[in-house]
Amino acid sequence: MTERKTVRMLVVVAHGSRREASNAEVVALADRLRLQAGAIFSDVVAGFLEIASPSIPDALEHCAAQGATEIVVFPHFLAAGRHVATDIPGEVAIFAAAHPNIAVTVAPHLGVSALLPQAILALAAPAGA
Amino acid sequence: MTERKTVRMLVVVAHGSRREASNAEVVALADRLRLQAGAIFSDVVAGFLEIASPSIPDALEHCAAQGATEIVVFPHFLAAGRHVATDIPGEVAIFAAAHPNIAVTVAPHLGVSALLPQAILALAAPAGA
Protein backbone atom coordinates (compact mmCIF):
# COMPACT_ATOMS: atom_id res chain seq x y z
CA MET A 1 0.00 0.00 0.00
CA THR A 2 1.39 3.41 -0.96
CA GLU A 3 1.03 6.38 1.34
CA ARG A 4 -1.06 9.20 -0.06
CA LYS A 5 0.69 12.56 -0.40
CA THR A 6 -0.84 15.32 1.74
CA VAL A 7 -2.43 18.11 -0.29
CA ARG A 8 -3.71 20.69 2.19
CA MET A 9 -5.95 23.59 1.17
CA LEU A 10 -7.53 26.52 3.03
CA VAL A 11 -11.02 27.90 2.50
CA VAL A 12 -11.50 31.42 3.91
CA VAL A 13 -15.21 31.70 4.67
CA ALA A 14 -16.85 35.12 4.89
CA HIS A 15 -20.51 36.04 5.20
CA GLY A 16 -20.96 37.48 1.72
CA SER A 17 -22.31 40.95 0.98
CA ARG A 18 -24.50 42.69 -1.56
CA ARG A 19 -21.56 45.09 -1.91
CA GLU A 20 -19.33 43.52 -4.55
CA ALA A 21 -16.33 45.44 -3.17
CA SER A 22 -16.66 43.63 0.17
CA ASN A 23 -16.63 40.23 -1.51
CA ALA A 24 -13.68 41.30 -3.65
CA GLU A 25 -11.77 42.19 -0.45
CA VAL A 26 -12.19 38.60 0.76
CA VAL A 27 -11.02 37.18 -2.55
CA ALA A 28 -8.00 39.52 -2.44
CA LEU A 29 -7.27 38.32 1.10
CA ALA A 30 -7.35 34.70 -0.07
CA ASP A 31 -4.95 35.66 -2.87
CA ARG A 32 -2.55 37.29 -0.37
CA LEU A 33 -2.79 34.21 1.86
CA ARG A 34 -1.98 31.92 -1.06
CA LEU A 35 1.28 33.83 -1.55
CA GLN A 36 2.16 33.65 2.17
CA ALA A 37 0.92 30.14 2.94
CA GLY A 38 4.02 28.57 1.44
CA ALA A 39 4.34 24.97 2.47
CA ILE A 40 1.32 25.04 4.78
CA PHE A 41 -1.46 25.28 2.17
CA SER A 42 -0.99 24.47 -1.49
CA ASP A 43 -4.07 26.54 -2.35
CA VAL A 44 -6.25 29.14 -0.62
CA VAL A 45 -9.73 30.02 -1.86
CA ALA A 46 -12.60 32.18 -0.65
CA GLY A 47 -16.07 30.83 0.11
CA PHE A 48 -19.26 32.67 1.07
CA LEU A 49 -22.03 31.66 3.44
CA GLU A 50 -24.66 33.76 1.68
CA ILE A 51 -25.27 36.05 -1.29
CA ALA A 52 -21.84 35.87 -3.00
CA SER A 53 -20.11 33.05 -4.84
CA PRO A 54 -18.48 30.67 -4.64
CA SER A 55 -20.66 29.19 -1.91
CA ILE A 56 -19.02 27.11 0.81
CA PRO A 57 -20.01 23.81 -0.88
CA ASP A 58 -18.67 25.08 -4.23
CA ALA A 59 -15.38 26.18 -2.66
CA LEU A 60 -15.01 22.80 -0.92
CA GLU A 61 -15.83 20.91 -4.13
CA HIS A 62 -13.24 23.01 -5.96
CA CYS A 63 -10.63 21.85 -3.43
CA ALA A 64 -11.74 18.24 -3.83
CA ALA A 65 -11.48 18.52 -7.61
CA GLN A 66 -7.95 19.91 -7.22
CA GLY A 67 -6.92 16.83 -5.26
CA ALA A 68 -7.11 18.09 -1.68
CA THR A 69 -6.55 15.44 0.97
CA GLU A 70 -6.95 17.93 3.82
CA ILE A 71 -9.08 21.08 3.94
CA VAL A 72 -9.07 23.67 6.69
CA VAL A 73 -12.10 25.97 6.78
CA PHE A 74 -11.36 29.35 8.35
CA PRO A 75 -14.33 31.46 9.55
CA HIS A 76 -13.39 35.05 8.70
CA PHE A 77 -15.72 36.43 11.37
CA LEU A 78 -15.05 38.64 14.37
CA ALA A 79 -17.89 37.32 16.54
CA ALA A 80 -18.81 33.74 17.37
CA GLY A 81 -22.46 34.07 16.42
CA ARG A 82 -24.79 31.56 14.83
CA HIS A 83 -22.85 31.58 11.55
CA VAL A 84 -19.65 30.48 13.28
CA ALA A 85 -21.26 28.18 15.82
CA THR A 86 -23.81 26.41 13.60
CA ASP A 87 -24.04 27.38 9.94
CA ILE A 88 -20.42 26.89 8.85
CA PRO A 89 -19.92 23.59 10.76
CA GLY A 90 -23.21 22.40 9.25
CA GLU A 91 -22.06 23.03 5.68
CA VAL A 92 -18.72 21.42 6.44
CA ALA A 93 -20.35 18.31 7.95
CA ILE A 94 -22.43 17.75 4.80
CA PHE A 95 -19.33 17.97 2.61
CA ALA A 96 -17.29 15.76 4.93
CA ALA A 97 -19.96 13.06 4.89
CA ALA A 98 -19.86 13.02 1.09
CA HIS A 99 -16.04 12.97 1.00
CA PRO A 100 -14.84 10.48 3.62
CA ASN A 101 -11.31 10.46 2.14
CA ILE A 102 -10.78 14.18 2.76
CA ALA A 103 -9.94 15.38 6.29
CA VAL A 104 -11.93 18.58 6.81
CA THR A 105 -11.50 20.73 9.92
CA VAL A 106 -12.86 24.11 10.99
CA ALA A 107 -10.29 26.53 12.45
CA PRO A 108 -11.05 29.01 15.26
CA HIS A 109 -12.67 32.21 13.95
CA LEU A 110 -10.71 35.44 13.53
CA GLY A 111 -12.22 37.04 16.63
CA VAL A 112 -10.16 34.84 18.94
CA SER A 113 -6.82 35.73 17.34
CA ALA A 114 -4.22 36.78 19.88
CA LEU A 115 -2.78 39.06 17.20
CA LEU A 116 -5.85 41.34 17.07
CA PRO A 117 -4.62 43.83 19.70
CA GLN A 118 -1.31 44.19 17.85
CA ALA A 119 -3.12 44.63 14.52
CA ILE A 120 -5.44 47.25 16.04
CA LEU A 121 -2.64 49.23 17.68
CA ALA A 122 -0.72 49.23 14.40
CA LEU A 123 -3.72 50.80 12.64
CA ALA A 124 -4.83 53.15 15.42
CA ALA A 125 -1.59 54.51 16.86
CA PRO A 126 -0.82 58.02 15.60
CA ALA A 127 2.42 58.33 13.63
CA GLY A 128 5.26 58.84 16.08
CA ALA A 129 3.21 57.88 19.15
CA MET B 1 0.16 80.27 28.18
CA THR B 2 0.75 76.72 29.38
CA GLU B 3 0.87 73.84 26.95
CA ARG B 4 -1.90 71.32 27.41
CA LYS B 5 -0.75 67.77 28.20
CA THR B 6 -1.80 65.18 25.60
CA VAL B 7 -4.31 62.63 26.92
CA ARG B 8 -5.00 60.19 24.09
CA MET B 9 -7.78 57.61 24.22
CA LEU B 10 -9.00 54.88 21.88
CA VAL B 11 -12.61 53.93 21.16
CA VAL B 12 -13.02 50.48 19.59
CA VAL B 13 -16.26 50.65 17.62
CA ALA B 14 -18.15 47.46 16.78
CA HIS B 15 -21.56 47.01 15.24
CA GLY B 16 -23.36 45.73 18.33
CA SER B 17 -25.27 42.45 18.50
CA ARG B 18 -28.40 41.04 20.10
CA ARG B 19 -26.06 38.31 21.37
CA GLU B 20 -24.69 39.64 24.63
CA ALA B 21 -21.66 37.34 24.31
CA SER B 22 -20.61 39.10 21.09
CA ASN B 23 -20.73 42.51 22.77
CA ALA B 24 -18.82 41.13 25.74
CA GLU B 25 -16.08 39.93 23.35
CA VAL B 26 -15.61 43.51 22.14
CA VAL B 27 -15.46 44.85 25.69
CA ALA B 28 -12.90 42.15 26.55
CA LEU B 29 -10.87 43.16 23.50
CA ALA B 30 -10.90 46.80 24.67
CA ASP B 31 -9.71 45.59 28.08
CA ARG B 32 -6.85 43.63 26.50
CA LEU B 33 -5.93 46.66 24.40
CA ARG B 34 -5.86 48.90 27.48
CA LEU B 35 -3.23 46.60 28.98
CA GLN B 36 -1.14 46.59 25.78
CA ALA B 37 -1.61 50.22 24.73
CA GLY B 38 0.99 51.43 27.24
CA ALA B 39 2.10 54.95 26.44
CA ILE B 40 0.04 55.19 23.25
CA PHE B 41 -3.46 55.35 24.76
CA SER B 42 -4.17 56.18 28.39
CA ASP B 43 -7.59 54.52 28.11
CA VAL B 44 -9.37 52.18 25.68
CA VAL B 45 -13.14 51.77 25.65
CA ALA B 46 -15.68 49.96 23.49
CA GLY B 47 -18.49 51.70 21.65
CA PHE B 48 -21.36 50.27 19.62
CA LEU B 49 -23.02 51.58 16.48
CA GLU B 50 -26.34 49.87 17.21
CA ILE B 51 -28.18 47.73 19.75
CA ALA B 52 -25.56 47.51 22.53
CA SER B 53 -24.22 50.13 24.90
CA PRO B 54 -22.33 52.30 25.30
CA SER B 55 -23.27 53.98 22.03
CA ILE B 56 -20.54 55.76 20.07
CA PRO B 57 -21.62 59.20 21.41
CA ASP B 58 -21.67 57.85 24.99
CA ALA B 59 -18.20 56.31 24.59
CA LEU B 60 -16.85 59.57 23.15
CA GLU B 61 -18.46 61.64 25.94
CA HIS B 62 -16.92 59.25 28.48
CA CYS B 63 -13.49 60.01 27.02
CA ALA B 64 -14.21 63.76 27.09
CA ALA B 65 -15.27 63.53 30.74
CA GLN B 66 -12.02 61.69 31.52
CA GLY B 67 -10.02 64.59 30.09
CA ALA B 68 -9.14 63.27 26.65
CA THR B 69 -7.40 65.78 24.40
CA GLU B 70 -7.11 63.30 21.51
CA ILE B 71 -9.46 60.45 20.63
CA VAL B 72 -8.85 57.81 17.98
CA VAL B 73 -11.94 55.90 16.81
CA PHE B 74 -11.13 52.41 15.50
CA PRO B 75 -13.76 50.68 13.33
CA HIS B 76 -13.62 47.01 14.37
CA PHE B 77 -15.07 45.88 11.05
CA LEU B 78 -13.70 43.56 8.38
CA ALA B 79 -15.46 45.16 5.42
CA ALA B 80 -15.58 48.81 4.39
CA GLY B 81 -19.35 48.96 4.06
CA ARG B 82 -21.76 51.78 4.84
CA HIS B 83 -21.05 51.59 8.58
CA VAL B 84 -17.35 52.24 8.06
CA ALA B 85 -17.71 54.68 5.15
CA THR B 86 -20.60 56.78 6.43
CA ASP B 87 -22.18 55.94 9.79
CA ILE B 88 -19.10 56.01 12.04
CA PRO B 89 -17.58 59.16 10.49
CA GLY B 90 -21.01 60.79 10.81
CA GLU B 91 -21.23 60.09 14.55
CA VAL B 92 -17.66 61.26 15.00
CA ALA B 93 -18.28 64.51 13.10
CA ILE B 94 -21.22 65.39 15.37
CA PHE B 95 -19.09 64.82 18.48
CA ALA B 96 -16.13 66.73 17.03
CA ALA B 97 -18.29 69.75 16.23
CA ALA B 98 -19.47 69.84 19.85
CA HIS B 99 -15.92 69.42 21.22
CA PRO B 100 -13.61 71.68 19.20
CA ASN B 101 -10.83 71.29 21.79
CA ILE B 102 -10.57 67.52 21.30
CA ALA B 103 -8.77 66.16 18.24
CA VAL B 104 -10.83 63.21 17.01
CA THR B 105 -9.66 60.97 14.18
CA VAL B 106 -10.99 57.76 12.62
CA ALA B 107 -8.40 55.00 12.08
CA PRO B 108 -8.46 52.58 9.12
CA HIS B 109 -10.81 49.64 9.73
CA LEU B 110 -9.54 46.20 10.72
CA GLY B 111 -10.10 44.73 7.26
CA VAL B 112 -7.13 46.61 5.82
CA SER B 113 -4.66 45.34 8.43
CA ALA B 114 -1.50 43.93 6.90
CA LEU B 115 -1.35 41.53 9.86
CA LEU B 116 -4.53 39.66 8.89
CA PRO B 117 -2.81 36.98 6.78
CA GLN B 118 -0.38 36.26 9.63
CA ALA B 119 -3.25 36.11 12.14
CA ILE B 120 -5.24 33.78 9.89
CA LEU B 121 -2.32 31.42 9.23
CA ALA B 122 -1.62 31.25 12.98
CA LEU B 123 -5.21 30.11 13.59
CA ALA B 124 -5.60 27.86 10.55
CA ALA B 125 -2.26 26.07 10.25
CA PRO B 126 -2.41 22.52 11.63
CA ALA B 127 -0.07 21.85 14.55
CA GLY B 128 3.35 20.92 13.19
CA ALA B 129 2.56 22.07 9.64
Mean pLDDT of A37-45: 93
Which residues touch A82 (CB under 8 Å, ≥6 apart)? none
Contact between B113 and A123 using a beta-carbon 8 Å cutoff:
yes
Strands A8-14 and A70-75: parallel
Give the number of other CB atoms < 10 A from CB of residue B65: 8
Residue B78 with chain A: CB contacts under 8 Å:
14, 25, 76-78, 110
Whether complex ipTM tops 0.90: yes
Is A36's CB within 8 Å of B123's CB? no
Is A99 a residue of the active site? Answer: no
Select from B8, B14, B119 the Cβ nearest to the Cβ of A110: B119
DSSP assignment string, B68-106:
-SEEEEEE--SS-SHIIIIIHHHHHHHHHHH-TTSEEEE
Mean pLDDT of B10-22: 92
pLDDT, tens only, B53-110: 999 999 999 999 999 999 999 999 998 888 998 999 999 999 999 999 999 999 999 9
Using the Cβ of B98 and the Cβ atoms of chain A, whether some distance falls under 8 Å is answered with: no
pLDDT tens, residue by residue, B49-67: 999 999 999 999 999 999 9
Helix (H) or strand (E) holding B40: none
Range A86-90 average pLDDT? 96
- Rounded-to-10 torsion of CA B50, B52, B54, B58: 30
CA A69 to chain B, closest CA, distance in angstroms equals: 13
Residue A127, pLDDT score? 82
Nearest Cα of chain A lies from the Cα of B98 at a distance, in angstroms, of: 22
Q: Rounded to two decimals, what is the model's pTM? A: 0.90
Give A17's pLDDT tier (boundaries 50, 70, 90): confident
